Structure 1
């Protein structure tokens, strides 16, 4: 009798193995954005790419920094496996800098910390191999706030977020990228995403992006 199979993280796996967690990323929105990105000509030298999920996708980066070289490669709902799947479109542009933030949707879908870190390592190694002159900035996973109920699956991940961020910071030395701690600047006194910066417990309001901008500018990363 043929085993039931499922497509997860680009691999055809037995259903029993894949059911441990959900690493699928290929929503209609994901495919719409990727096809658009792939058709944008690579005509500008020195691009700066913000790469990630909806937290990146929402921002008007070029306007925020008054820099037309900044390109938004955020896709709402994306995960580490989705970044790996579409990374070639980013690296073929040979950007001067990449600012990466990804992982909260992995946690919401039950992807183990070890898989998230392994995927991060693969992303970093591919960027190093495919675009060696690019400066890479890995930004911490942000806190959430369970006062809001809209994104319940993303809540109560504080311990995992802290553990992954610690590993990402350690890995920066090993793999030669810059780790950017945005997490702490956006927390309230209880370690949750401050209501000054969010209205749904997951995504940022304008004030949150201004904090993000100020950190990158203060550290002279942009």
Structure 2
């Protein structure tokens, strides 16, 4: 069984690369939109700050697992681009779903950053970066749920391996191996967080 998993490692690694891509895109898009909402919230105009605050609250409070199913059904399976039918990949739907909670998170964090800067806190940027990196790890873990809508990430690929060898011990070993990928990613993120924190204290 171990030999089979070792042989399947490149196959699983390609799936984990998709997890990383989903997470990076969700954080990038969500951070951009969240920063825009934060700017609207701080504009001082109620007709801008009110809707921005409502949008932030909506993005922040809807569970990402629910959003996966909602977005999967909301977005079309295919789109017509200049007469050419293009299939919408399931990983894009997962990315959109995970972008939404990032929007709410960054909107709130950016507001906190502005308040800290206004109060003269020189560590505001480092605090924001640490929180952002922590949330990136959360989104990476959440990306594993993309398999429920059929995205071809590491958990989905692990399920395909298990379908070929349905022994309970192989199931446990395979999921344990997949968990190890996320644990290693978490340890790498923790190391990076310590570096960022050390840099913040030294600056």
Same-fold status (TM-score > 0.5)? no
> Whose Rg is larger?
2
* RCO comparison, higher one (Cα < 8 Å, 6+): 2
Of Structure 1 and Structure 2, the greater strand share is in 1
TM category (shorter chain) comes to under 0.3
TM-score, normalized by length of structure 1?
A: 0.25
TM-score, normalized by length of structure 2?
A: 0.27
Of Structure 1 and Structure 2, the greater helix share is in 2
